[in-house]
Structure 1
């Protein structure tokens, strides 16, 4: 068989490279689709302001509120588990027929988006973990975070909800945090789908200063997993709820990093 002309091979290589680049990268004028997932005890309202800035830039934003939380807190928490919350997000994506989704999760939301990645990786183009749990396959949220509370007693449970001391007892203003479904804390997540493992991910730990960044980078299990997986790590200044403090800045970080790619790992 005769070999192909060198000029043709070069042209073919250029075309294939361009096609791959278009598939893996978003252009500056491309309109993107975001699905934002909140953390424990919260609701989609926590992402309202960041979502507003993304929408003002011309993008589509879905702020999912998980079952029995936020504006859905009137629903029973009995029987609600991690699978319930994964289904909340998966079904939003499927029933809205969303593709090339940029998926984000905050805190406990890292558990949820991990399960979503494992279920429907073909619908996702990029993932953000915002100060979020980064579980290994088969871990629960308790396994992922460990006993950070030391010897503090377990929070009380009422009607299937974990009720922390700092939650409002008789709230008179909205929005506000609510008790979190206890069944979500012990169910392990699946993270073994090869297509999910290949998704590009940006890990964004919220840190107050350089000293806190150094300490967490050396001791935080989630940070270490993100690093081991070759994810892009972009520390962001703020408390655990930085999206409420500087929502515009976080929106700008998101839009500046949607083309982050994983670093190949051994």
Structure 2
């Protein structure tokens, strides 16, 4: 049995994976959606990125999981990629769902114009506020799915976005799948494109927006199932 640890991106918690987790369990896998410190039911607790890395490692070790597929969506690719290095031979594969990939010494906000995000964090007492409904337009979601995100989203701890990643090796060293959601851009970031040239990285394209756990949960569950079955 493959054990999936599912970690959603900024503003979201374990609840975001309800439909994907159901699909994985129906396919015979074990699914463990995880809420990071400071979000959803753990809201209000300040947390840096290293705390989020430890959240993932602790979940794997607490449950004594092996044959693990770590799944990181968006922001959570950064802590998930670091946790993957730390769990050693428990790891089967990493899946980045339209996600940022960690590089040693770089933060989530490295490499893209982020002054507005940093200013927003400062204005909101160290927290990054959730998006508005208009920000979800054009991402393949129904009004009901957007409403669900708006009602469930919580402010994201700002320190986790600015702390640099700590890696001994390269994310390219670990067997990985990158799921590119095409409504959020038709190609992976250049740094990811370089990693995909390695033999142990695989690209899968999904014709939907940045939040496929809402817009195409069955298709995402199928991709995750195949990522475990093929490797």
TM value normalised by structure 1: 0.73
Contact 1:81 1:184 in 2 (8 A): yes
The CA distance in 1 between the partners of 2:69 and 2:218, in whole Å, is: 17
The CA distance in 1 between the partners of 2:20 and 2:3, in whole Å, is: 14
Matches within 5 A, 1:76-87: 76-77=45-46, 80-87=47-54
Q: What number of residue pairs does the alignment pair up?
A: 216
Matches within 5 A, 1:134-153: 134-143=101-110, 145-147=111-113
2:119 corresponds to: 154
CA drift of 1:152 comes to 8.1
Deviations 1:219-246 (A, max 9, x none): x234324324441111111110011111
Unaligned runs of 5+ in 2: 134-146
Contact 2:97 2:179 in 1 (8 A): yes
Deviations 1:99-138 (A, max 9, x none): 1101100000110111102222221111100000013222
Contact 2:130 2:153 in 1 (8 A): no
TM value normalised by structure 2: 0.83
SS of residue paired to 1:191:
coil
Larger RCO, structures 1/2 (Cα 8 Å, 6+ apart): 2
Residue in structure 1 matching 2:42, options 59, 72, 85: 72
Deviations 1:123-161 (A, max 9, x none): 111110000001322211011x511x6878832443431
Moved over 4 A (4+): 149-153, 171-175
Contact 1:204 1:233 in 2 (8 A): yes
CA RMSD after TM alignment: 2.7
